[in-house]
Amino acid sequence: AHFGSHGRFIAARLNAEALGAAFDSAISSSLQTKSELTAIGGTSQRIVRDVKRKARDTVGQDIEPNDNWYVYGEKYWQRERLRYDVKEKKWEPMLPLNSDATGVALEVAFFGEGSERLVREFREIGSDRLFTGERLVAKEGRFQMDVEHTDRRDIIKFHNTFCDTQHRAQRLAKVFNSRLKQLPGYDERTTPLISFLECSVYVVEDRNLGTIGLLVEKQLDPSKYKKWNDNQGGVDGRDSFDHLTFGGMGLGAITEIDDEDEDSEEDDDES
């Protein structure tokens, strides 16, 4: 569990129901793995990157860069940080999170893994060569094909989809939260709401890989959060997606909105 792996134990009872459940689990796992390793929109197989990993309970222990970190000083990081403007469909330059940042550092080992991306620690470095500001994480492609192309245009394009999806997810979260607040059982002190972290891309020059773009966002405490879904329809503790209910009342479906509707809603929000 400390390394993010998952498993399922089925008691070896000698009856048809138990054996059926065991075979069903094995088949589902095999199909899921095959689907996960198949390129989206195609049939070619994707190779998962062979990377160094670390336990989640060891995250956040360093206060300064050491041999377990890749350090990019002023020569390799020109304070370049980009944010994706969904309305304009382009990347905009941003200042570093901390005004005194003169470099950035990337942990060698990864501590988190999703269906598409790997996660490791990321920090800005101040003029005193110590970590400065809040804890961050960098998300990178999980598959070998994601890191084979280091052309700057390919790097930025790779992150477009994630940032655009993150923005749309936040829009849906606002609709969900609004409906949730209208339910009789809602209590602002105890009822959790949904939100998504803002992300940006740090561009650095790596001695071996050339120009690379790191998708960075605020780090959640890995000891206090739980990943409830696997991004492929599976939900921890549930066999299928049942209709969501809250206090006996349905929340209803939230449908995706197209770009024009989304832009008009944003204009309404700003006005």
What's the pLDDT tens digit per position in 155-210? 677 788 888 888 889 889 999 999 999 999 899 999 989 988 888 999 999 888 78
SS3 (DSSP) at 205 = strand
- Percent residues over pLDDT 70 in the chain: 65
Residue-level pLDDT at 147: 65
Longest dimension (CA), the chain: 67
Position 245 pLDDT exceeds 70 = no
The mean pLDDT value for 38-44 works out to 53
Higher pLDDT: 32 or 134? It is: 134
Residue-level pLDDT at 30: 62
At which residue do the structure tokens 């800005």 appear? Answer: 124
The mean pLDDT value for 46-71 works out to 87
Contacts of 93 (CB under 8 A, 6+ apart): 80, 81, 82
SS3 (DSSP) at 51 = coil
Residue-level pLDDT at 77: 96
Residue-level pLDDT at 3: 52
Residue-level pLDDT at 105: 97
The mean pLDDT value for 104-126 works out to 90
Higher pLDDT: 270 or 115? It is: 115
pTM above 0.75, yes or no: no
Residue-level pLDDT at 258: 52
Tokens of 167: 């923005």
Position 10 pLDDT exceeds 70 = no
The mean pLDDT value for 203-219 works out to 88
Residue-level pLDDT at 243: 44
Residue 34 phi/psi, 5-degree rounding, is -65, -45
Position 122 pLDDT exceeds 60 = yes
Task: Please tell me what DSSP assigns to residue 48.
Answer: B
Position 151 pLDDT exceeds 80 = no
The mean pLDDT value for 137-166 works out to 76
CA-CA distance, 163 to 180, in Å (whole number)?
25
- Return the C-alpha torsion angle 115, 35, 52, 103, nearest 10: -40
pLDDT category of residue 74 using cuts at 50, 70 and 90:
very high
CA 79-80-81 angle, 5° bins: 115
Q: Is the dihedral of CA 69, 70, 72, 77 positive or negative?
A: negative
Position 78 pLDDT exceeds 90 = yes
Position 6 pLDDT exceeds 60 = no
Residue-level pLDDT at 200: 92
